[in-house]
Amino acid sequence: MSDAVENPYAILEQRIGYAFLDRARLESALTHKSYLNENPGWGRPDNERLEFLGDAVLDLVVGHLLMEAQPTRTEGELSKTRASIVNELGLADVAGELGLGDWLFLGRGEESSGGRRKPSVLADACEALVAAIYLDGGFDAAFVVVRHLFGSRVLGAGEAGSTDYKTRLQERAARRRVQVRYSVVQERGPDHDKTFEIAATIGDREYARGTGKTKKEAEQRAAEMALRTLDGES
């Protein structure tokens, strides 16, 4: 039997760069409270307590990385930058890159309402995952994983730590003497729970797309991804 069959989380562990010694911790991190409510005999706690611990671990490690990457920043600037990296949107982005939603244990109601794509659910699971790694492998293991998952965001947060990616993208475009346009590519879901996909176009070229529960959120994500594309070209 292959390892992928023996370990249903092999792909996820490969993406995060860590193999769990006790997979029960990983399964707890992936367990939403709605699943436990419907499956009381599951044998794993939900991830709410892990979220609490993961938030603290993330603050410490990202703060450490920022101290190294931005030695001239003040305490206030560092705090603002850290908050922009580990807020709900940032955590949901990391979870999305990992495909974390595919592994979540959700109740039927949460599943039917699009829980695997909800930023709040994904952000909570991301925090819980970091805590599970910390408990399973210690601080050094958690440090390595957080640096792997968030390192590029730390290095890319040098511009005052602002989360207003649209403004930053507009400034970059102005230096090129071109305009930025945002257009709705797709709307999904019922009126009370829509998800928007928006494209960011600079000049006559589409640079990136972003999704969000509001058009503003989707535009910010598209602008962030477009900035990363521009940085890569530079």
Query: What CATH number is associated with residue 179?
Result: 3.30.160.20
Other Cβ atoms within 10 Å of 13 Cβ, number: 14
Q: What is the pLDDT of residues 74-89, one digit of tens each?
A: 898 888 889 888 988 7
User: Are 175 and 131 contained in the same domain?
Assistant: no
Higher pLDDT, 90 or 109: 109
Active site residue 55: yes
Q: What is the pLDDT of residues 144-182, one digit of tens each?
A: 999 999 988 887 775 444 457 887 888 788 888 888 999
User: Are 70 and 136 contained in the same domain?
Assistant: yes
Classify residue 160: in a domain, yes or no. no
Q: Among 11-20, 99-108, 145-154, which stretch is predicted with the lowest mean pLDDT?
A: 145-154
Query: What's the number of domains the chain is made of?
Result: 2
Rounded Cα distance, 202 and 179, in Å: 6
Domain that holds residue 10: 3-155
Catalytic residue among 46, 124, 127, 224: 127
Classify residue 74: in a domain, yes or no. yes
pLDDT greater than 90 at residue 117: no
What's 85's domain CATH number? 1.10.1520.10
Nearest partner of 127 among 81, 90, 78, judged by Cα: 90
Active site residue 191: no
The DSSP symbol for 72 reads T
Q: What percent of the chain has pLDDT over 70?
A: 94
User: Are 169 and 151 contained in the same domain?
Assistant: no
User: Are 133 and 175 contained in the same domain?
Assistant: no
Rounded Cα distance, 88 and 143, in Å: 20
The DSSP symbol for 115 reads G
For CA atoms 171, 79, 54, 39, give the dihedral sign. negative
Side-chain half-sphere exposure of 32, counting CA atoms within 13 A: 25
pLDDT greater than 50 at residue 103: yes
Higher pLDDT, 232 or 136: 136
Find out whether 169 and 181 touch, Cβ atoms under 8 Å: no
What pLDDT shows up at residue 192? 76
Rounded Cα distance, 48 and 127, in Å: 9
Mean pLDDT (the chain) is 89
Q: Which residue has 């521009």 as its token pair?
A: 230
Both structure tokens of 223: 């602008």
Alpha helices in 7-138 (DSSP H): 10-16, 23-29, 33-38, 48-69, 75-85, 88-98, 108-112, 119-137
User: Are 30 and 112 contained in the same domain?
Assistant: yes
User: Are 195 and 175 contained in the same domain?
Assistant: yes
User: Are 111 and 193 contained in the same domain?
Assistant: no
User: Are 213 and 137 contained in the same domain?
Assistant: no
Q: What is the pLDDT of residues 172-199, one digit of tens each?
A: 888 888 889 999 999 988 877 788 999 9
What pLDDT shows up at residue 2? 42
Catalytic residue among 27, 46, 51, 55: 55
